[in-house]
Amino acid sequence: MDLNFTPQEETFREEVQHFLAERLPPRTADKVRTNKRLTRDDLVEWHAILNERGWLAGHWPVEHGGPGWSVAERYIFDYETARAHAPRIIAFGVNMLGPVLIKYGSEAQQKYYLPRILDGSDWWCQGYSEPGAGSDLASLRMSAVRDGDHYVLNGQKTWTTLGHYANRIFCLVRTDPAAAKKQQGISFILVDMNSPGIEIRPIITLDGEHEVNEVFFTDVRVPVENRVGEENHGWTYAKYLLTYERTNIAGIGGSVAALDWLRRIANQQMQDGRPLARDPYFAARMARVEIDLENMKTTNLRVLAAASHGGAPEAESSMLKIRGTEIRQELTSLTRRALGPYAQPFVPEALDADYNGEPIGPDYAAPVAAEYFNNRKLSIFGGSNEIQRSIIAKTMLGL
Amino acid sequence: MDLNFTPQEETFREEVQHFLAERLPPRTADKVRTNKRLTRDDLVEWHAILNERGWLAGHWPVEHGGPGWSVAERYIFDYETARAHAPRIIAFGVNMLGPVLIKYGSEAQQKYYLPRILDGSDWWCQGYSEPGAGSDLASLRMSAVRDGDHYVLNGQKTWTTLGHYANRIFCLVRTDPAAAKKQQGISFILVDMNSPGIEIRPIITLDGEHEVNEVFFTDVRVPVENRVGEENHGWTYAKYLLTYERTNIAGIGGSVAALDWLRRIANQQMQDGRPLARDPYFAARMARVEIDLENMKTTNLRVLAAASHGGAPEAESSMLKIRGTEIRQELTSLTRRALGPYAQPFVPEALDADYNGEPIGPDYAAPVAAEYFNNRKLSIFGGSNEIQRSIIAKTMLGL
Amino acid sequence: MDFDLTDDRRMLADTLGRYLGDRYGFSERTRIAGSEEGFSRTSWQDLAGLGVIGALFGEAAGGYGGAGFDLHTVFEQLGRSLVVEPFLGTLLAGKVLEAAGGQQALLDEVIAGTRLVTAALYEAEGRYDPLHVGTRATAREGGYVLTGGKAVVPQLAAADVILLSAKLEDGLALFLLPRSAPGVTIREYGFVEGGRGGELLLQDVVLDADARIGAGHSAQELIEHAVAAGIVALASEAVGIMEFARDATLDYLRTRTQFGVPIGKFQALQHRMATVLLEIEQARSATINAAASLGGDRLSRERAVSAAKFTIGRVGTLVAEEAIQMHGGIGMTWELPLPHYAKRLTMIDHQLGDEDYHLVRYIRLGEAAGAEAA
Amino acid sequence: MDFDLTDDRRMLADTLGRYLGDRYGFSERTRIAGSEEGFSRTSWQDLAGLGVIGALFGEAAGGYGGAGFDLHTVFEQLGRSLVVEPFLGTLLAGKVLEAAGGQQALLDEVIAGTRLVTAALYEAEGRYDPLHVGTRATAREGGYVLTGGKAVVPQLAAADVILLSAKLEDGLALFLLPRSAPGVTIREYGFVEGGRGGELLLQDVVLDADARIGAGHSAQELIEHAVAAGIVALASEAVGIMEFARDATLDYLRTRTQFGVPIGKFQALQHRMATVLLEIEQARSATINAAASLGGDRLSRERAVSAAKFTIGRVGTLVAEEAIQMHGGIGMTWELPLPHYAKRLTMIDHQLGDEDYHLVRYIRLGEAAGAEAA
């Protein structure tokens, strides 16, 4: 039993830190730190910098362009980049589609698509959820009817995160509506967003931002070779995708950075003639979440260690998802509380990094309330925390 | 909208207070206040005192010996008696069987049993739960087979509170095992505990006390005239009994007394050189439950007011049960916490009022931890809080 | 003991509810909340005409009500329709004017809806404490000079007259400030939940002697009294919002199907919803206690008011978060009314003192009560 | 990064687990816990023979381990079998002896199981603070005179030697007190969860000069260090108990049927159980953090230790209450093992500082760390 990283791992950590100091654009890091809006260009730039270093696809096999990291190295990389306020790597190509293609894609698909993910030629988005199929994903209804060498797609996808930045979408579609079980008869298909018949419409979220979209498909023709794997076996690939990438599901590094940010704010806000951070009640709220996060770091490492020994931690990664998002939500909630009356004023333009108006109240105030509301999504999207609790219970109870 | 009681009600309150000052045996009140053991004699004595004043059966109609109180007067009586540390009236005869006999009993049953409840000739206990039928009460299996003018009873009841003090038990029994629904085919029957074939065995609870029992029935013969109402309609009477007496389900008066007790202890316990009651964290715990209780007083009165106008507050009385027991459990939990290291020593003899050994630690310490463990029952017995939540949800959702 | 509204209040509730239902529907509300002024002068005139502003004040001050349950009746309806009209500033300033006396002409215009007032009682350094005042007033011949600033003042830019607190040499004092007075700077902005507010800056603002009001009273008491009324109002608004959120969520649980059944069939959601329902009843009770306390002695009143604001803060967060969570993705969208209710409910915790502030205040008042009793 | 036990520790866990499974089953445990001494001298001898006491101490002190993960390994097993043997007093006193030095003969006997020690570090007035010491020691020719009292000392009556703290004129000091010394009064009693403890009263107790130990060290540091080890032990015991409670509850949820299905099919219970499972993992992580910290610098160690005790207190209450609640009526009965585990789990929060005490301590240590860093 040893909680320390190995000397090699510590050397790697320094290497990552050094790289971040050198290459992470300070303007981007500052936006992340202060919760300002990131542009598509910010994300593309960071993507390219990582790719140049060969560190973009940490969990891809070396032969497909991965760096050959251990689980611990991936953890260190995720942790350090988040702490340094790097943007998250946009997951759809690198973390979601990539592994599916590597495991189930044809050689042609691998050769064509994987390099385009790495070099940024393709920005992928995810076509899973539908208006009637949220938690009950397998009840999806978008149809793909075979017509010669093509599928003809009709239906609607929703909650398509950053779909308005994407040129491609991977979709779950129903190829056999008569299948006995709803999990059968689903296929996994790659679609060019520029195909005729695709219409994308923004969904504005409660904080007034445009992050997610609806995507409508009307007689969209997709070549059959864009199907991944076998027809009607898409559910297998979809599940693989959902459970594959769990190194960073708890978002530890991001929460550590958010806690630092909160602490800074709580040290500046005054209450009762002393910094809010010294107020016993607020200090207790912060200490509770700090301790929970310290515990979570070790829980996360324990799960990773088990996984590297070949464990298959489905219930455990659901735990990481639940508590990881709860901690992050609690941190944004405390940051909102810390602001006091200044949570209420809202100047949307102040979320742009090049806004140069005088701030209302303290300069860190502008994005806080909106960020709190936006982060309510963490327990809803990516498999709601209710779904995760059911997975844990069913795994442990075996009922 | 007026939160005050009427002048008449306030006069009644004074009358109750005066009565309690005069007639509540101080030794008994002291036992209740300090959570010492009550004997059967203590309970019988208080029962007789109330009966003498005509205040024993607050919700019975005047013609059967009730005092003719309004809902507000019943609330005031329950509140003042609890605050004065009177023992709870043993519910089984007065609050449970009495109302059933008044509504569904034959004239002969009413004439014979009701006066015996009031004058203390009968101590009733409840034969509802069985080992396999807890929350799922309607799945009970104890059989009653007709044999001429008698039923022959076979089976087992459990969690029979104070059954070892009782001379009679009212039971739910299955008279038609072939009924289409499990709620059908149940009858409600009155049994003399001295009948041959009845065996009663103590269940020792986790605090080491004997309060509940198992009751075994082997070929127990009960005259048919001891059945209440119609054969196979017992479920209706049982449900009536469970929902009838709700004035005091939140146990407000008892919680107010428990809060006073907690506050006294927290003012005496020292932490960090000041009374625990001044410790910001403990003060916050106490204030939270105090505010919850203040709110609950008004919630309780609102439900009672609606009921007195003919409302049928099933979901509301489930709310009172849940939050009332949660508040009481939190209070005993805080009292346990307040004791610090002295929660651990346990001298069972010190729970007897006539124990005259020197106390271990502060003189109020002895019963505290055991009382905390014992009070875990509050959210389990009398319809678990899970069952109550389902009732609320189903009532409000109508699903 | 009577939990029914009087006939007058029931009529007020009905009238107000009907007006808001007809003229202040959700899309209209959205338009108004995002408009340049952040409220509607037409609606305000209508509401004044219906007697809604008057209901906040006693008959002696030219109103038709003014008791805790009058505020409760009005603000619960405002909450249900998520109204962004300038009621809070009007109430806070008006309650001071009513208690201080000597400003009947202004109050008449306020009640008639022809002049707008607001109250600037909080400062950036003071957080939630209205008695922490750094703004200074210096007496000089024939009047006062004020310098300082006030934070997050509701509907500041639209107010004709601003009631504010400042420190005189001999203690706290209250002043009426015309918005257009020289030396006054206003930085206005929208609120995250809709509606508008602003920062007030005073640089050597010269006021006449009669700008000072309530000189015969304790300014602390006037402020405390007005804030107590404000808390009853916010708590009642919160209860109205919670009831909307409850109904919307119950409805969604009944109608949204997943896995072939309405999601309200899922027991985990049922039990959490049962807790939400229970807590809303507790929040309503806390609000009733506070409303009833407004006429009572100071210590009972202030404890009831802090208990209510604490409860509303705690339960409000629960209700807002659970309602969004149970709605799932759709609960995150701008287009649905529910999340806007959730946002306002959350922001109520940021006005007039939050959950933690009032818990501490409740404890301190309790210690004071204990000391008094001893 | 390695979360596996070393082979030695795995062997220790296996040996101990096997012994307890064979010879310390629940009915045996019940007999022992309620016996006159509240533990079993036979078992104690057996456990010493298996090297379990030695595992608590380093090789320099004649033991076979002594690191945080050794304590973790031993006490987790003790928790699983709800062992009432005098390990806590032995650990606390032994850790002081180990660090103070100069008491090897006594330590050898302790490790061999032939002499029993306990630690009397807390006083009634000090609640959970071991540095609040009212007991006074006065130096006099050739020795000391001690007067005062110690509260809730584990296995006090059975201990041959009692380690205790007292205030000398120039600060805190530690002494070894033979139980049978004149002037010593012991009031012993059972614990609510089984096992025994006692109150220690000292009236002009005369001790030789060599009764004082660790004079070359800071008594505060010795105490803090021993209590840190004690907290790792209690947290590990708690984790063992939680795992028992988890397994028992999962088993009950799988097998108890109501409404025609196992109650584990009810989603409300499933989701609560998922939270319980998650929290147990967090409690285990907190314990691992604390165990790893024992070798580190003071501030990190004490923060990790307080974080662990806070977590164990919070999660322990949750696990105890939920396990009983999910068992329903049967969970309230003496006859079932589960509630006894729940009682011990609850009482662990009352030893060496509870949840609130350690949360405050964690905050203060954090402020100290911040001040140090600044």
CATH number, domain of D81, equals 1.10.540.10
List the beta bridge partners of residue B170: B126, B190
pLDDT category at A389 given cuts 50, 70, 90 is very high
Is the Cβ pair C347, A271 closer than 8 Å?
no
- Report ipTM for this prediction: 0.96
Model pLDDT, residue C58:
97
CB pairs under 8 A between C and D: 10
Q: Tell me which chain C residue has its CA closest to the CA of residue D268.
A: C268
Report how many Cβ contacts below 8 Å link chain A to chain B: 5
Decide if A298 and D289 are in contact by the 8 Å CB cutoff.
Answer: yes
For residue C301, pLDDT over 90 is answered with yes
Bridging pattern class, strands D161-168 and B270-271: unpaired
| Contacts of A5 by beta carbon, 8 Å cutoff, 6+ apart | A13, A72, A76, D1
Residue A71: per-residue pLDDT? 84
Contact A208 C334 (CB under 8 A): yes
Confidence class for position B72, pLDDT limits 50, 70, 90: confident
Query: Is there a single domain that holds both residue C230 and residue C165?
Result: no
Whose tokens are 């140090």? That residue is D372
- Tokens 């096997």 found at: D18
The model carries a pTM of 0.96
Residues D100 and D123 in one domain: no
Which residue in C334, C355, C359, C361 has the most chain A C-beta atoms within 10 A of its own C-beta, making it the best mutation to test that interface? C334
| Cβ neighbours of A308 in D, within 8 Å | none
Q: Which residues of D touch C267 (CB under 8 A)?
A: 266-268
**Does one domain contain both D228 and D313?**
yes
Shared-domain flag, residues C18 and C29: yes
Residue D1 lies in a domain: no
> Is the pLDDT at A311 greater than 60, yes or no?
no
Same domain, D226 and D354: yes
Q: Which sequence spans correspond to the domains of chain B? A: 7-89, 124-233, 249-397
B80 contacts: CB under 8 Å, gap ≥ 6: B13, B16, B17, B20, B253
Q: Is pLDDT above 70 for D139? A: yes
- Indicate if the pLDDT at residue B247 is higher than 80: no
Token output for A383: 């498999």
**pLDDT tens per residue, range B94-130:** 999 999 999 999 999 999 999 999 999 999 999 999 9
User: Choosing among B291, B296, B384, which should be mutated to test the C contact, i.e. which has the most C CBs within 10 A?
Assistant: B291
| Shortest alpha-carbon distance between residue B281 and chain A (Å) | 7
Shortest Cα distance, chain D CAs vs residue A360, angstroms = 29
What confidence score (pLDDT) does residue C374 get?
59
Q: Quick one: closest CA in B to D132, which residue?
A: B272
| Min Cα–Cα distance to chain B from A255, Å | 26
C188 in a structural domain: yes
Q: Quick one: pLDDT at residue A307?
A: 77
Q: What is the nearest CA distance from A315 to chain C, expressed in angstroms?
A: 18
Residue C206 belongs to domain with CATH number: 2.40.110.10
Number of domains in chain D: 3
Q: Does the pLDDT at position A305 exceed 90?
A: no
- Chains touching A (at least 3 CB pairs under 8 A) are B, C, D
Residues from chain D contacting residue B345 (CB–CB below 8 Å): 152, 189-192, 197
Note the pLDDT of residue A245: 57
Q: Do C224 and C177 have their domain in common? A: no
Pick from A371, A380, A385 the residue to mutate for testing the C interface (most C CBs within 10 Å).
A380
- Residue range(s) defining the domain that contains residue D149: 119-213
D2 within some domain: no
CATH assignment at residue D258:
1.20.140.10
Asked whether residue D209 falls in the same domain as residue D224, the answer is: no
Contact A319 D273 (CB under 8 A): no
Mean pLDDT of chain A: 94
| Domain contains C1 | no
Q: Mark yes or no for CB contact A3/D1 under 8 Å.
A: yes
Q: How far is C13 from chain B (nearest CA, A)?
A: 14
More confident residue, B3 or D286: D286
Residue A310 has pLDDT above 70, yes or no: no
Contact A275, A267 (CB under 8 A): yes
Gap from C333 CA to chain B (nearest CA, Å):
24
Q: Which of A73, A214, A245, A316 is labelled catalytic?
A: A245
Residues D167 and D47 in one domain: no
Q: State mean pLDDT over B62-79.
A: 92
Does C95 share its domain with C83?
A: yes
Taking CA–CA distances from D266, the nearest residue in chain C reads C267
In a domain, D151, yes or no: yes
Q: What is the pLDDT of residue D194?
A: 95
The beta-carbon neighbor of A295 closest among D291, D311, D359 is D311
Nearest CA in chain D to B270: D125
Residue D276 lies in a domain: yes
Partners of chain C (3+ Cβ pairs below 8 A): A, B, D
Final residue of a structural domain among C94, C116, C138: C116
pLDDT band at A220 (very low <50, low <70, confident <90, very high): very high
Question: Is residue B248 very low, low, confident or very high in pLDDT (cuts 50, 70, 90)?
Answer: confident
| Window C:321-360, CB contacts with B under 8 Å | 359-360
When mean pLDDT is compared across A67-76, D256-265, D278-287, D293-302, the lowest value belongs to A67-76
* Strand B168-174 relative to strand B124-127, pairing: parallel
> What does DSSP say about strands C143-154 and B150-157: parallel, antiparallel, or unpaired?
unpaired
* CATH architecture of residue range(s) A124-233: Beta Barrel (2.40)
D374 in contact with B, Cβ within 8 Å: no
Same domain, C243 and C344: yes
Half-sphere exposure of A296 (CA within 13 A, CB side): 29
Provide CATH code, domain B249-397. Answer: 1.20.140.10
Residue B365: closest CA among chain D residues belongs to which residue?
D192
For residue range A331-386, list pLDDT tens digits in order: 999 999 999 999 999 999 999 988 989 999 999 999 999 999 999 999 999 899 99
Where among D165, D183, D213 does a domain terminate? D213
Report yes or no: D272 at the B interface, CB cutoff 8 Å: no
Enter the DSSP assignment of C215: T
User: Which range has the worst mean pLDDT, A140-144, A200-204, D2-6, D330-334?
Assistant: D2-6
Among residues of chain B, what percentage have pLDDT more than 70? Answer: 97
Share of chain D above pLDDT 70, in %: 99
Are residue C229 and residue C360 in the same domain, yes or no? Answer: yes
Same domain, C53 and C75: yes
Are B397 and C250 in contact (CB < 8 Å)?
Answer: yes
Please report the pLDDT score of residue C306 as a whole number. Answer: 98
Q: Is the pLDDT of residue B311 over 60?
A: no
Show which of residues 139-198 on chain D sit within 8 Å of chain B, judged by CB atoms. 151-152, 187, 189-193, 197
The last residue of one of the domains, among D180, D213, D246, is D213
| Residues of B forming the active site | 245
Which partners does chain B have (≥3 C-beta pairs < 8 Å)?
A, C, D
